[in-house]
Structure 1
């Protein structure tokens, strides 16, 4: 292969010869790029969803094949984001499929130095018991002036910006029914 043959294979030379100055035509294609296919091509289902990162609520399309997520992209029909995602939203595929994601409940006993794996049911039961115990130990039927208050100040809640109105409504209902009055949300919009 001579120098001219080698130069003729160079993409810039191919672009100039074909007058493809923007580099958008076939002159920039390689064997590898011609074999590339979209990850969404083989999806057997597409579901609409909302990005979990902030309260903006950007629309997402979640592509699945055989019940497994294959790609997540912005939803062009979303009136909020019109198909666009911020860097965090664009990386949400990694959030749900990444190998770094914990897929089991880890628990470290008081004074312990190592994490142990426990079943989800056991973890949920532990949380429920601790909420009940704290509520019982800090329950106030009446305040110092004798007014009926039926509350606990031993538990508080600070919600994050990823919670939507419906989730906040349900959380507030749950905590109010438990007598928890210190309920706040760190909303961004």
Structure 2
């Protein structure tokens, strides 16, 4: 780094240069001039939806070397118009946290330790249990012969970490499967 001379002082740059009010180039340091936005060095940008609530704010996610480096609001979104709440703006920490679980964790009944499962095994276990619960608790009609067509052994309790469209599809799926206990923040 070069040594500063008397002529490099901001006041003297202001008086000698084209910035007499001292609001622009006269008071801008070399370090500030060399600073570039993180997004300009990104390998790419992907559009996504904020995972925190059912509003569905659109995000622009910038990545570099396989890591999220910046998340900002998408100005083209009719929902959020480029704005994010504090949680949405800080969702980069969610993606890059060392505490983030990236594998399926399973604790067998009466076990004291968690184990890793591959995704296919976990999905098969969930599907088998869902089908078995539906089969075991299916009610076709009541005592008077009235049609029920419901499964009392399955229910859905959703959260706000998926958007309204996904909540709508979950509601349709569980209704088609015969569930009547379906609760979600989206209140579809």
TM-score by length of 1: 0.76
Tell me which residue corresponds to 1:174: 173
Name the SS for the 2:175 alignment partner: helix
Counting only pairs closer than 5 Å after superposition, residues 2-151 of structure 1 correspond to structure 2 as 20=22, 27=27, 29=29, 31=31, 33=32, 35-65=34-64, 68-151=67-150
Stretches of structure 1 that go unaligned for 5 or more consecutive residues are none
Give 1:73 deviation, angstroms: 0.7
Q: CA RMSD in A?
A: 3.0
Within 1, Cα distance between the matches of 2:187 and 2:135? 34
- Equivalenced residue count is 176
Farther off after superposition, 33-42 or 83-92: 33-42
Give 1:46 deviation, angstroms: 2.4
Relative to structure 1, is the Cα distance of residues 26 and 98 closer, same or farther in structure 2, using a 3 angstrom cutoff? farther
- Contact between 1:40 and 1:63, CA under 8 Å: does it hold in 2? yes
Give 1:59 deviation, angstroms: 2.0
Name the SS for the 1:135 alignment partner: helix
Relative to structure 1, is the Cα distance of residues 147 and 188 closer, same or farther in structure 2, using a 3 angstrom cutoff? closer
Name the SS for the 1:154 alignment partner: coil
- Contact between 1:161 and 1:188, CA under 8 Å: does it hold in 2? no
- Contact between 2:73 and 2:82, CA under 8 Å: does it hold in 1? yes
Stretches of structure 2 that go unaligned for 5 or more consecutive residues are 15-20
Deviation readout 1:109-145 (Å, 9 max, x if unpaired): 1111111111111111111111112112211111232
Give 1:176 deviation, angstroms: 2.1
Deviation readout 1:8-51 (Å, 9 max, x if unpaired): 9xxxx968x9565x8x87647474x5554322012243233221
